[in-house]
Structure 1
């Protein structure tokens, strides 16, 4: 499962990973966020009309065929094993996959991140709902898969992560064989370059960073 993640990078650190014109207002209002939850706006990379472009979406999928955006569930996760079969997800899986930049995600209070602290891509799907009055809502959800050895003690699901360099392959429109070629990415990822920081250690780090520490051990503050 992936119900919380963070994106604490500055916008100038994100720009090399994003392509195309930035969403309106992003440069002015973007701020690093240590905790992103379902229902909130999220930054995503997608492909439309043959070009990659960043977009702002709501986290919680609203399928294009929904009659009322206020009625029914808004799933923030989709199981990779059944995403091609379920009515809520299969259209988006075929035609509208996306990537969400992140630097960590959370399970039971543990902050799971790369050991080098680098950004990574959460795999997702997105959709566009158009109301009778022409209003539009773009939304997305994160794909999940069986956990690896790092995440399994914390939860029975973990997010699908797309390696750097495979952005185009993930985002471009594909037919049946092309979609099947993506299936290895849905099987999970190697935990060797990752770490799960427990809540107590995170709290200690936060406390130390907020205190004025002596320059040398034993010296007065």
Structure 2
């Protein structure tokens, strides 16, 4: 599960593929965030029918076929084992994969981060909801998989992490053999170079608990 994470770094330290697609407005509005929760806007790197771009999306997937964006389930996580089976995720899994930058994520009061303090990519799926009045809502969910040795004592799920350098391959619109080629990225990732620790402000630990 991934229900809380942070992007607490300056804009100059964001992953280069994201920096290359930030608009002046994104750069002006960007601010480091120590706690990000479902229902809040996320900074996302995505590819649509036009090109690759940075975007702000609500965390909690709204299916494109939903009649009411305020009603019904809005999953903030999607299990990789059921992406092909659930109508809510099937189309996005094939054509709308995205990347969410993070500096750490939280589980049971623990902070999980890279030892070198570098940001990393969380794997996501995104959708665009279109209203009859012409309104648009872009939303996103984070993929989860079975835990590695670092996360297993805390929770039976963990977020999928996409290695740097594989951004284009992850976001490419593929089907069939192309999707099967992505399967190794959905499994339990190597915890070497990662650490879990406690946030410095122990009085604030409850703010980082996953729901």
- Cα offsets for 1:173-203 (capped at 9, x unmatched): 001110010000111210111101035xx33
Looking at structure 2, the residues matched to 55 and 74 of structure 1 have their Cα atoms a distance apart, in angstroms, of 19
Looking at structure 2, the residues matched to 175 and 22 of structure 1 have their Cα atoms a distance apart, in angstroms, of 28
Aligned-pair distance for 1:18? 1.1
| TM value normalised by structure 1 | 0.88
Looking at structure 1, the residues matched to 152 and 135 of structure 2 have their Cα atoms a distance apart, in angstroms, of 41
Map residues 98-177 of structure 1 onto 2, 5 A cutoff.
98-177=98-177
- Cα offsets for 1:94-131 (capped at 9, x unmatched): 11000000010000010000011111000000000000
The answer (yes or no) to whether the contact 1:146–1:158 under 8 Å persists in 2 is yes
Looking at structure 2, the residues matched to 196 and 44 of structure 1 have their Cα atoms a distance apart, in angstroms, of 24
The answer (yes or no) to whether the contact 1:23–1:55 under 8 Å persists in 2 is no
Q: In the alignment, what sits opposite 1:80?
A: 80
Q: How many residues align?
A: 203
| TM value normalised by structure 2 | 0.92
The answer (yes or no) to whether the contact 2:22–2:53 under 8 Å persists in 1 is yes
Q: In the alignment, what sits opposite 1:34?
A: 34
Looking at structure 1, the residues matched to 93 and 84 of structure 2 have their Cα atoms a distance apart, in angstroms, of 6
Structure 2 gap segments, 5+ residues each: 205-211
SS in 1 for 2:47: strand
- The answer to which structure, 1 or 2, has the higher relative contact order (CA under 8 A, 6+ apart) is 2
Structure 1 gap segments, 5+ residues each: 207-221
The answer (yes or no) to whether the contact 1:96–1:171 under 8 Å persists in 2 is yes
Looking at structure 1, the residues matched to 108 and 169 of structure 2 have their Cα atoms a distance apart, in angstroms, of 32
- Cα offsets for 1:62-89 (capped at 9, x unmatched): 0100010111011000000111210110
The answer (yes or no) to whether the contact 1:19–1:53 under 8 Å persists in 2 is no
Task: Write out the 4+ residue segments of structure 1 that deviate beyond 6 Å after TM superposition.
Answer: none
Aligned-pair distance for 1:25? 2.6
Range with bigger deviation, 24-33 or 64-73: 24-33
